[in-house]
Structure 1
Amino acid sequence: MADGRERFLHDCVVSRETVERLDALVAILEEWNNTINLVSRASLSDVWIRHILDCAQLYPLAPTDAKTWIDLGSGGGFPGLVIAALANEKNPSLHMTLVESDSRKCAFLASAALRMGLNVTTENRRIEGHGRRRFDVVSARALARLPALLALAEPYMNSDSVALFLKGSGADRELTEVLETRHVSAMRIPSITDPNGVILAIKGASRAKSGS
């Protein structure tokens, strides 16, 4: 774990306060993971690379003037709490909303945010209960295949919103499937933590192709 933390500090230029917040996240994650399956035990031993650095790579892809960010299916706080910790230093006006349907995981998110000293909103509900709110950035990690993920994310997006999805080796197939029926402006960014992983950055809400 120490080597992973050192790599994070090498790859991400952050303040001592931000590192302390992330240390607090690791500590509470280890505590709660004994009773709630937040992350796999195997990945917990490499938490700084597999989870924290993996999620931190999303932050530079978001608009620098973003004011609202929603993380769908936040679970163990990835990427939502990592992004909130970075934003607290780099863009304090950004407000993070974490959506999680599992009440136990939502309790973890609230407790972790408190220990990290972060002002975030945690919502214990299904993603589909979105109301009419729109956000500058929508994120998700290991939540669903891209066609279903876009259907969940689009109600939270307007024409200027950006969706940032951490995806695995099936990302290209999923994107091809989406492009067959939707007009989507998408950028594919290789992951810095997983040779088979990519980040899909999708601009604005997609539109169905005529005849689809």
Structure 2
Amino acid sequence: MTEDDARSWIALRHGPVGITAMERIADLVAEENARQNLVAPSTLSMMWTRHLVDSAQLLQFADADSAAGPWIDIGSGAGFPGLVIAALTRRTVYLVEPRRKRAAFLEEAAERVGVADRVRVVAAPIQSLSGVVASVISARAVAPLTDLFAWAAACSSIRTQWILPKGQSAREDVATACETWHGVFHVEHSVTDAKSLIVLASKVARR
């Protein structure tokens, strides 16, 4: 997928409003990247493919009946995928980012993108979040599945969907997780890179 392809992908699914929102996020990340290393500098020229569409594609895996519940994004960093999800939907999204400078960026970015009313930035590890049960949990190459499931146990239920971009190691990660966790697991290919894989998990519970 080229950068032009990625823009067209967003335009087809989210229209001019989606394009404008993604442009704002791209500009904010590029601007902030000069102050702190949000993303690898080598990926700035591939922002639409490597970060924006790579995040936006996760929406197709979320069940429609989960739309009313919160989406929790673990290790949001530069806002991928959580800030993109918030910008393209009407969901309440929790951006969990323990690094203070990045959390501060996410708060400012949510304001400037116009989604601060629905975005909650949690400047702490996911283990500290309580009182919220997610309909969807995402985490973009943050940690092994076994760790993610354990860390977010207080924020998930048997009905929570897990949508987890994992690169090329997805199947191995699922096999390891199945030693200690029950669940329904499925692996999908990313639209931006056929070698990159996304783990979909549901009905997750400890063995």
Same fold (TM over 0.5): yes
The aligned counterpart of 1:131 is 130
Return the alpha-carbon distance in structure 1 between the equivalents of residues 203 and 37 of structure 2.
Answer: 33
- 3-state SS of paired residue (2:126): coil
Superposition pairs of residues 33-182 of structure 1, within 5 angstroms: 33-65=33-65, 66-67=67-68, 68-87=70-89, 92=90, 94-118=91-115, 119=117, 120-182=119-181
The aligned counterpart of 1:8 is 6
Return the alpha-carbon distance in structure 2 between the equivalents of residues 154 and 162 of structure 1.
Answer: 13
The aligned counterpart of 2:23 is 23
- 3-state SS of paired residue (2:171): helix
4+ residue runs over 6 A deviation = none
Whether contact under 8 Å (2:168, 2:197) holds in the other structure is yes
- 3-state SS of paired residue (1:46): helix
> Alpha carbon RMSD of aligned pairs, Å?
1.3
- 3-state SS of paired residue (1:163): strand
Which amino acid is 1:159 matched to? Answer: I
Structure 2 residues not aligned, in runs of 5+: none
- 3-state SS of paired residue (1:57): helix
How far residue 163 of structure 1 moved from its aligned partner, in angstroms, is 0.7
Whether contact under 8 Å (1:153, 1:163) holds in the other structure is no
How far residue 191 of structure 1 moved from its aligned partner, in angstroms, is 1.1
- 3-state SS of paired residue (1:205): strand
Which amino acid is 1:139 matched to? Answer: S
Q: Higher helix fraction: Structure 1 or Structure 2? A: 2
Structure 1 residues not aligned, in runs of 5+: none
Whether contact under 8 Å (1:99, 1:123) holds in the other structure is yes
Return the alpha-carbon distance in structure 1 between the equivalents of residues 5 and 110 of structure 2.
Answer: 24
Q: Output the TM-score relative to the length of structure 1.
A: 0.90
- 3-state SS of paired residue (1:183): strand
